[in-house]
Structure 1
Amino acid sequence: MKNSVKGGIKTGGCAVVGGLVGGPPGFAVGAAIGGIYSWKTSDDFKPLPQILREMPPAQLDKLLKSVMAILVHLKWETVEGLIDYVMKDIPLKKAIIDELKRRVKTLT
């Protein structure tokens, strides 16, 4: 998450400078240049799906059990229904994201 914020700041900063120098087209050019710069300077960045794929099976099992403990009180029939419910329930979504952060942070 820290590297995503750094990349966003670099990209946003370049977009602002581009906008100041070149007006509306400068925003696009600055954002593109900032995005490329962020990408090239972020060697240690791993997206969440990659972290989950590389997670040891025991840690992945702990993550699954901890998230399922949060969801245990819900009644759902399809994954789409569960996702829709979680996305609309802000405290529930925050609890799941916090648990995911907590489990992933121990690996990095």
Structure 2
Amino acid sequence: MDDKIKKDLQQLLDKLWSEPDLKVTMKNSVKGGIKTGGCAVVGGLVGGPPGFAVGAAIGGIYSWKTSDDFKPLPQILREMPPAQLDELIKSVMVILGHLKWETVEGLIDYVMKDIPLKKAITDELKHRVKTLN
């Protein structure tokens, strides 16, 4: 596969992942939120409003220290085994069909405006990333 196409598609995936309405809630993020929230509640029960703040801070630190598995998408893509990354790129290429682009910016702009295409690529990305966890 052409290295330029691969780099362009990785940039597209990074852009899609950074969209606020498209972020996938990964199970490790939920676990961290539960830990943080639990500590905040306990702190609030024990120490009132100041205890709530202290509990949330302690819970956040605890979640951060115990969640080595959570990684942002660009890091997941960098660390993905080459065969799996190639599978992801090939599946995105199938979704894109015979679309041709001159620049990565043009590709990203086109995909971001084509809602069904954007959703199809995002769904594939979510599926692939979830299978890694």
TM range (shorter): 0.5 to 0.7
The TM-score with structure 2 as length reference comes to 0.55
After TM superposition, the structure 1 stretch with the greater mean CA deviation from structure 2, 62-71 or 2-11, is 2-11
Give the secondary-structure state (helix, strand or coil) at the position aligned to 1:14: helix
Of the candidates 44, 49, 53, which is equivalent to residue 74 of structure 2? 49
Q: Following the alignment from structure 1 to structure 2, what is the Cα–Cα distance between the partners of residues 30 and 88?
A: 43
Distance 1:42 1:86, change over 3 A: same
Of the candidates 31, 34, 57, which is equivalent to residue 56 of structure 2? 31
Distance 1:74 1:43, change over 3 A: same
Query: What do you get for the CA RMSD once the two structures are aligned?
Result: 3.5
Deviations 1:33-67 (A, max 9, x none): 77545423422212212221221111111111100
Distance 1:88 1:106, change over 3 A: same
Deviations 1:55-92 (A, max 9, x none): 11111111111001111243322110111111122221
Q: Following the alignment from structure 1 to structure 2, what is the Cα–Cα distance between the partners of residues 61 and 51?
A: 13
**Unmatched 5+ residue regions in structure 2?**
1-25
Q: Following the alignment from structure 2 to structure 1, what is the Cα–Cα distance between the partners of residues 115 and 45?
A: 37
Higher relative contact order (CA 8 A, sep 6+): 2
Q: Following the alignment from structure 2 to structure 1, what is the Cα–Cα distance between the partners of residues 117 and 77?
A: 21
Give the secondary-structure state (helix, strand or coil) at the position aligned to 1:106: helix
**Unmatched 5+ residue regions in structure 1?**
none
User: How many residue pairs end up in the alignment?
Assistant: 108
Distance 1:55 1:28, change over 3 A: same
Give the secondary-structure state (helix, strand or coil) at the position aligned to 2:101: coil
After TM superposition, the structure 1 stretch with the greater mean CA deviation from structure 2, 36-45 or 52-61, is 36-45
